[in-house]
Amino acid sequence: MLEAFVFATILCGFFGIVYKQNLVMKIISMDVMSTGVVAYYVLIASRDGLKTPILSEGLDGASVAYADPVPQAVILTAIVIGFSIQALMLVGVMKLARENPTLETREIEKGNTP
């Protein structure tokens, strides 16, 4: 059930990128899709029965299945990279807004075609 909601989030973001004409709405749709991808990655990486990879004094030497910490590092990196890309796109939209009275993609294309 949770996977269906995550895929719905990814599809909402994708269709927002394809069908929205406003550049700011496209950026928000890309952020929604990125959030869905990160949520899917977290959903796949979390498995039942795994312990956190922190050793304590109370272990009796029994073999315990530890969770892999690499997906956490990958997710944090993806969040930071997504944030920086979003900021860079917003700067580009701000520069476009100075030259164009609208942020609709069709109007910008009409004004810039030779």
Comparison of pLDDT for 52 and 23, the residue scoring more? 23
Is the CB of residue 71 less than 8 Å from the CB of residue 52?
no
Cα–Cα distance for residue pair 101/37, rounded to 1 Å: 34
Average pLDDT, the chain: 85
pLDDT digits (tens, 9 = 90+) for 81-99: 999 999 999 999 999 888 8
- Give the SS3 label for residue 57: coil
> Is 2-47+69-108 a CATH 1.10.287.3510 domain?
yes
Alpha-carbon distance of 89 to 112, in angstroms, equals 19
Q: What pLDDT does residue 71 have?
A: 80
- Residue 110: predicted pLDDT: 82
**Tokens representing 78?**
């993806």
Q: Where are the domains of the chain?
A: 2-47+69-108
Is pLDDT at 52 greater than 90 in this prediction? Answer: no
CA distance 52 to 50: 7
